[in-house]
């Protein structure tokens, strides 16, 4: 669920609580779409993300779980500080200098039966 720079301009006047509620709702919608896609295509779905986003996904998941890979699959997914500052602004309307995630891991989406 990538956001554009203009999304940051829209969100800069909203409270962080409102932004988080909207984000959680969008995550649930996206995770539902992912689950349906994975069931219909029977494809393996792998993602590389930071631990905080993993916990949000795991909390909002229904019908599937994320299993961590031992091997780090996508070394290009980890953002440097400038990329993180841009991504944080596009998501929340605030620039985060000090919260660049360190713990990036690769996960596979596992459908629960």
Convert the pLDDT of each residue in 59-84 to its tens digit: 777 777 888 887 767 777 788 888 88
Specify the pLDDT at position 113. Answer: 63
Looking at the structure of the chain, the number of domains it has is 1
Domain extent at residue 15:
5-111
Give the pLDDT confidence score for residue 18 in this predicted structure. 92
Please give the Cα distance from 10 to 27 (Å, whole number): 19
**Low-confidence residues of the chain: pLDDT under 70:** 1-2, 72, 113
Position 109 scores a pLDDT of 81
Cα-based distances in Å from 6 to 3, 19, 30, 44, 113: 8, 14, 20, 33, 40
Give the pTM: 0.65
């Amino acid at each position: 669920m990538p956001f554009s720079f203009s999304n940051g301009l829209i969100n800069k006047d909203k409270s962080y609580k409102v932004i988080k509620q909207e984000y959680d709702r969008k995550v649930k919608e996206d995770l539902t779409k992912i689950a349906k896609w994975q069931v219909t295509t029977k494809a393996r779905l792998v993602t590389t993300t930071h631990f905080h986003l993993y916990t949000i996904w795991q909390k909002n998941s229904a019908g599937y779980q994320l299993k961590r890979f031992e091997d780090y699959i996508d070394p290009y997914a980890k953002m440097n500080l400038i990329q993180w500052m841009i991504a944080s602004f596009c998501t929340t309307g605030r620039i985060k200098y000090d919260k660049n995630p360190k713990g990036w891991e690769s996960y596979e989406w596992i459908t629960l039966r």
